[in-house]
Structure 1
Amino acid sequence: MNRSDGDTVTAGFIPLLDSALLVAAAERGFAAEEGVDLRLVRETSWANIRDRIAIGHFDVAHMLAPMPIAASLNITSLAVPMLAPMTLGLGGNAITVSTGLWHAMEQAGAAADGDPASAGRALARAITARPADAARLRFGVVHPFSGHAYELRYWLAASGIHPDRDVEITVLPPSLMADALKADRLDGYCVGEPWNTAAALAGTGRIVTTKAAIWPGSPEKVLGVTRKWAQANGATLATLIRALAKAAVWCGDAANHADLAALLSGPDYLDCPAEWCRPALGGRVALSRDTVLSMPDFLSFTAPGALQPSTDHALWFYSQMLRWGQVEHDPRREAIARETYRPDLFAAAVPKTVVPGADALPGQAEPPQRFYDGVEFTPQDIAGYVASFPIRA
């Protein structure tokens, strides 16, 4: 891991493809160019990331997009007020099931193209067909306050499956998901890459749908930072954001994908075969060994909205905390959720000469957030949006 002279910033990360911006900024000199000595520390679980940034081991972190909101709302352990001044990319998650469950879903009519509606209907039929005394299917997510948990729950509920009654949802670190599936400890999971591809290429799992199909153009990880650190180190945070934005341009260039796959797969980072990293970086999804789906928007570091955080996205995550009983709604909590995402900090730090469109005004109107089932998120009426769903906590 590279070192340079300048402001030292210690960043925690989890071994996932969407740690790419931090890794590239440290290893390809973008941080050093901005005068930042970026030191990366690999962690194994999101709980460790949350705890270590809370007690000051990390200055910033590769972080689950809902996690700074949960921390600011004081509904997670070791909670401290946090900010998300930058998004680290869009998409990158998928839902994978065991080959046995996939065969049952195929028999129940699942299409082989990653369509979430077809896969969800088939899963519902497969669950109904199970013996009455069979144990509930067990699905893994990486943390209760994660895009993975909310996407999985959304998909299950939209398919008529109650996430808390019809299946069991458990928490496991990302890098253990594929092994847990192989060992029959899980029937399925929602996780970021490359841990879906790992099971698909091993022949032990099948990717049945993706985050990009469930919620197009949605954020996955953010740059998390405590409010205290951001206030005390505003200039350093701005230079780090610029470095990460430059790294995003490099990561988004197809000419660099082979280099990026080799870098990320190395022992200091994901410590996995480079072939597990290549599909997602190239806009492909290996649903199985024999079925590869072209999906250019599966994981993006440079698409519109890939870097500047959106307050509407923050409010959707807050709506899911309400929907699943993690918090009770009131205007003060809604304001905290909105104010956790800081598009103004990103816009001030990154001129459009670095990333086209990055100077969009904070609070600028955004296109509606529409999900695969046709339901549109209404941030102006969060309580009504949550109440409209027949399946909720």
Structure 2
Amino acid sequence: MTLTPVRIGFLPLVDAALPILARERGFAEAEGLAIDLVRDATWAAVRDRLLYGHSDAAHLVAPLAIATALGRDRPAVPMAVPFVLGLNGNAVTFSTRLADEVELGDTLGDPHAIGAALKVAAGTRRLRFGVVHRHSSHNYMLRYWLAGVGIRPDTDVDIVVTSPLFAADALAAGDVDGICVGEPWNSIAVDRGVGRIALATAQIWRRGVEKVLAMRADTAERDPDRVARLIRALHAAAEYFVRPDTVEDTAALLAQPRYLDAPADAVLRAITDRIRLSPGAEPVRYPDFMFQHREAANFPWRSQAAWLYSQMVRWEGIAFDEGDAAVAAGTFRPDLYRAALAGSGAVLPGASSKLEGALAEPIGAGATQGRLMLGRDGFFDGRAFDPDDVAGYLRSLP
């Protein structure tokens, strides 16, 4: 059988697992695909490789796909996100000096309490935090938390960009006082003795969208069959990823030099929801620290894209625009997800948007296929986001 080639760009992060597993465990081949994976060091390089035709799809931070479609920092290129590769999985890690100043404990603390202590520290010197890209969920999650505890980003603290691969080095050199990055780079900073984990981003927005499969919209339109086969391969990889009997195999695979080039134990901790908060400490368990597959986690909810757009407006000094909001939400393509998985065992939500952050307890939701349960998805400040009233939501924020 002749396999159809698909080249996918990625960064060495645990949440690149699904395309790696699709390639290495035969899920792509079962769909008639041959995945070629291209490793990069920055999100800008992954995006540029995609836009200039050096790759067909990418493991990408979700807001960067939206920013690309809107023409932020460069000419606009319509984008399509037909599959979410994971929710949450990031952390906020302080330098050991800052961790001592705010007296971090031995467990994941309360975001409000840590924020209050951080506000005191920020009053004594100008703190600097590193995030992986201006258009990243890391940047927006960090800013959302800081603003919610009374610390003004860009006024009280500085936020700069650092590659995930070099985030621990930036902490060690004293270039930043904290980082918000994906795994395994927080754990590597801790294991090196240069940082302590303060918060999981799941504490800021539980079930927050993180990495996605992104492609140019014209790629999706030109070969919808190839896109559908890729979605099915990734969906099968997600089922494999969450099986308890596969986690050690997956960690060993991801740790290889051609993929993450990281200690297998650090990778294994991330995919089993165990976090080592400080050097030498026993890992603590935080359920759903990294969230894949269950509760239709791979479904591209347009309401999640709309929230990311709201934060882009909030933090980049641009005016809210109904047309831009529609482009942002339309970048996520639940229609492609449903078309690919119709008739399979996958759960397919009946709606394409939902109220974000409103669930305090698990609840059943409408589905056109399968039975859908949605778990708690709250923001740390108790707010909810209505994708039908983005302007009103923005007016309500501090």
Range of TM-score over shorter length: over 0.9
Which residue in the other structure is 2:230 paired with?
240
Query: Pick from 358, 363, 377: which aligns with 2:352?
Result: 363
2:341 is matched with which residue? 350
Contact 1:10–1:59 (CA<8 Å) still a contact in 2? yes
- Aligned pair partner of 1:75 in 72, 76, 85: 72
Count of residue pairs brought into register by the alignment = 378
Structure 2 equivalent of residue 48 of structure 1: 45
Determine helix, strand or coil for the equivalent of 1:72: helix
Match of 2:384 among 373, 376, 390: 376
1:362 CA displacement: 4.2
Cα distance in structure 2, aligned partners of 1:309 and 1:255: 27
CA distance in 1, matches of 2:41, 2:110: 31
- The 2-side partners of 1:339 and 1:327 are apart by 19
What's the secondary structure of 1:327's corresponding residue?
coil
Hey, what's the Cα distance between the residues in 2 that align with 1:27 and 1:345? 24
Which residue number in structure 2 is paired with residue 294 of structure 1? 285
2:110 is aligned to 115
Structure 1 match to 2:306: 315
1:196 match: 186
| Deviations 1:328-386 (CA, angstroms, capped at 9, x unpaired) | 2111111111111111111111247443x1x2224264563631111111222211211
Amino acid at match of 1:67: L
Alpha-carbon distance in 2 for matches of 1:8, 1:78: 28
Superposition deviation, residue 320 in structure 1: 0.2
Aligned residues of 1:96 and 1:205 also touching (Cα < 8 A)? yes
TM-score (norm 2): 0.91
Label 1:54 to 1:364 Cα distance change in 2 as closer, same or farther (>3 A): closer
Q: Equivalents in 1 of 2:337, 2:141: separation in Å?
A: 26
Question: 1:266, 1:244 → 2: CA distance?
Answer: 20
The corresponding residue for 1:149 is 139
The separation in 2 between residues aligned to 1:209 and 1:291, in whole angstroms, is: 16
What residue in structure 2 maps to residue 341 of structure 1? Answer: 332
Q: CA deviation at 1:305?
A: 3.3
Over residues 153-182 of structure 1, what are the superposed CA-to-partner deviations in whole Å (9 max), with x where a residue is unaligned?
011111111111111111011110011101
1:255 positional shift: 0.8
After TM superposition, list the pairs within 5 Å mapping 1:213-232 onto structure 2.
213-232=203-222
Task: Give the match for residue 386 of structure 1.
Answer: 394
Q: For 1:305 and 1:185, how far apart are their aligned partners in 2?
A: 39
1:281 aligns with 2:276: no
- Measured after TM superposition, the shift of residue 124 of structure 1 is 0.6
Q: Given that residues 353 and 387 in structure 2 are in contact (C-alpha distance below 8 angstroms), is that contact kept between their aligned partners in structure 1?
A: no
CA RMSD of aligned residues (A): 1.6
Q: What is the CA–CA distance in structure 2 between the aligned matches of 1:146 and 1:119, rounded to whole Å?
A: 23
State whether structure 2 residue 116 is matched by structure 1 residue 126: no
Residue 17 (structure 2) pairs with residue 9 (structure 1): no
Matches of 2:245 and 2:394, distance apart in 1: 43
Q: Of 237, 242, 248, which aligns to 1:252? A: 242
SS of the equivalent of 1:370 reads coil
Aligned counterparts of 2:378 and 2:12: Cα–Cα separation in 1: 30
The offset of 1:200, in angstroms, is: 1.2
Tell me what 1:328 maps to: 319
C-alpha distance 371-365 of structure 1, shift in aligned 2 (>3 A): closer
In structure 1, list runs of 5 or more residues that go unmatched.
none
Q: Secondary structure at the match of 2:259?
A: coil
The SS at the match of 1:207 is strand
**CA shift in 2, pair 1:364/1:174, >3 Å:** closer
Query: Does residue 103 in structure 1 map to residue 111 in structure 2?
Result: no
**Structure 1 Cα separation of the partners of residues 334 and 134 of structure 2:** 25
Fraction of identical pairs, as percent:
44
CA 1:200/1:10 → structure 2, altered by over 3 Å: closer, same or farther?
A: same
Over 3 Å counting, the alpha-carbon distance change for 1:208 and 1:218 in structure 2 is same
Any gaps of 5 or more consecutive residues in structure 2? 359-376
Contact 1:178 1:196 in 2 (8 A): yes
Distance 1:79 1:94 in 2: 31
**What amino acid is the match of 1:379?**
P
1:64-86 deviation digits (Å, cap 9, x = unpaired): 01111111111133541101111
Aligned match for 2:262, one of 260, 266, 272: 272
